[in-house]
């Protein structure tokens, strides 16, 4: 099953512009392989469905925004490049290839609609570290670590960023369930666009992905760039005074326009140009 899903995903990457596929394709395949490894059939299908949904959303956006190649025009004895012309890449074979892949997915038992609803997929418990319940530490110590780190604290054992969560900033209780009164939110460190690790930019107080400049606010809500939604996250609970992050289940991030935190960027972007 794992090999078949990886092969199908590799074929689906034909929907990406060639320059992006050449640069990031193998990294995306490797990321999927890591996510599928060690899981049973139903969990693999759950993971694959979600990854394909992200691909379907981002591939179209990348194709529409990909720069067109320069055309060469002969002038006398020399050949110079003509001004860039915005053209649409012929969609025939690539589109058919992508649709064929989608039909195979449907034949494997997936729903015809691969995007839309928020989905979560299960990670098997491995007893400790990522994929299990991760004990981060005493709540007072965690709060101090978050403050000392400038508002977001990277926790490698959970592959997460811990950020402060104040219910007063979330009047509709959008994140009440996954924070469970702990006062912290755990954000998955991977960008939901291509899976790159998203660093924190202190100057802008934004998570800023260097791959394609997707930006997220302190609560991981989408602000800019090609990412289809906000950062995924993990549930946080308190066991006595201990902060526990449940990395067994990845909770799908909020939709682009579904955020709650109204905090503007505090300064210049670490990526430049914004």
Looking only at the bridges linking them, the beta strands covering 160-164 and 152-155 are antiparallel
**In this structure, are 221 and 182 located in the same domain?**
yes
Which pLDDT score, from 0 to 100, does residue 233 have? 95
Residue 196 lies in a domain: yes
Which is more confident, 245 or 102?
245
**In this structure, are 129 and 39 located in the same domain?**
no
**In this structure, are 157 and 243 located in the same domain?**
yes
Average pLDDT, the chain: 75
Residue 267 lies in a domain: no
Percentage of residues of the chain with pLDDT beyond 70? 68
Which pLDDT score, from 0 to 100, does residue 123 have? 36
Q: How confident is the model at residue 65 (pLDDT cuts 50, 70, 90)?
A: very low
Residue 192 lies in a domain: yes
**In this structure, are 153 and 56 located in the same domain?**
no
**In this structure, are 141 and 190 located in the same domain?**
yes
Question: Using CA atoms, how far apart are residues 159 and 34, in angstroms rounded to an integer?
Answer: 14
Work out how many domains the chain is built from and give that number: 2
**In this structure, are 151 and 102 located in the same domain?**
no
**In this structure, are 139 and 201 located in the same domain?**
yes
Q: Which domain holds residue 246?
A: 121-251
- Write the pLDDT tens digit of every residue in 139-158: 999 999 999 988 899 999 99
pTM of the model: 0.56
CATH number, position 190: 2.102.10.10
Q: How confident is the model at residue 55 (pLDDT cuts 50, 70, 90)?
A: low
Residue 266 lies in a domain: no
Which is more confident, 233 or 62?
233
**In this structure, are 102 and 127 located in the same domain?**
no
Output the CA–CA distances (angstroms, integers) from residue 239 to 67, 167, 181, 243, in the order listed: 52, 19, 11, 7
**In this structure, are 93 and 199 located in the same domain?**
no
**In this structure, are 93 and 138 located in the same domain?**
no
**In this structure, are 163 and 194 located in the same domain?**
yes
Query: Which residues are within 8 A (CB) of 230 and not within 5 positions of it... i.e. 6 or more apart?
Result: 192, 216, 219, 220, 221, 222, 253, 254, 255, 256, 258, 259
Residue 98 lies in a domain: yes
Residue 274 lies in a domain: no
**In this structure, are 135 and 231 located in the same domain?**
yes
Residue 26 lies in a domain: yes
The secondary structure of the chain as a DSSP string is -HHHHHHHHHHHGGGS-HHHHHHHHHHHHHHHHHHHTT--HHHHHHHHHHHHHHHHHHHHHHHHHSPPPPPEEEETTEEEEPPP---PPP-HHHHHHHHHHHHHHHHTT--S--SSS---EE----SSSTTSEEEEEEHHHHHHHHHHTTSEEEEGGGTEEEEE--GGG-TT-TTHHHHTTSSEEEEESB-TTT--B--EETTTTEEE-TTT--EE-TT--EEESS-SBSPPEEEEEEETTEEEEEEEEEEPPPBTT---------S--TTS--
Assigned token pair, 80: 């110079």
Residue 263 lies in a domain: no
């Amino acid at each position: 099953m794992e090999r078949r899903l990886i092969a199908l995903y590799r074929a689906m990457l034909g929907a990406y512009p060639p320059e992006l596929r050449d640069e990031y394709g193998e990294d995306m395949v490797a990321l999927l392989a890591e996510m599928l490894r060690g899981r049973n059939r139903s969990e693999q299908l759950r993971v694959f469905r979600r990854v394909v949904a992200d691909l379907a959303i981002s591939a179209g956006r990348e194709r529409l925004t990909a720069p067109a190649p320069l055309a060469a025009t002969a002038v006398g004895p020399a050949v110079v490049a003509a001004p860039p012309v915005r053209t649409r890449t012929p969609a025939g074979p690539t589109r058919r290839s992508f649709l064929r892949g989608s039909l195979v997915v449907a034949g494997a038992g997936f729903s015809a609609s691969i995007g839309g609803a928020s989905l979560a997929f299960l990670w098997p418990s491995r007893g400790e570290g990522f994929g299990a319940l991760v004990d981060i530490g005493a709540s007072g110590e965690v709060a101090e670590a978050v403050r000392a780190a400038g508002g977001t604290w990277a926790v490698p054992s959970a592959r997460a960023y811990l950020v402060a969560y104040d219910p007063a900033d979330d009047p509709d209780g959008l994140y009440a369930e996954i924070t469970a009164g702990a006062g912290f939110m755990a954000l998955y460190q991977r960008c939901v666009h291509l899976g790159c690790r998203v660093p924190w930019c202190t100057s802008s107080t934004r998570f800023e992905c260097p791959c394609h400049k997707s930006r997220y606010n302190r609560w991981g809500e989408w602000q800019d760039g090609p990412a289809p939604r906000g950062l995924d996250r993990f549930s946080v609970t308190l066991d006595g005074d201990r902060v526990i992050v449940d990395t067994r289940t990845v909770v799908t991030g909020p939709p682009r326009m579904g955020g709650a935190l109204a905090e503007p960027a505090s300064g210049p972007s670490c990526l430049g140009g914004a």
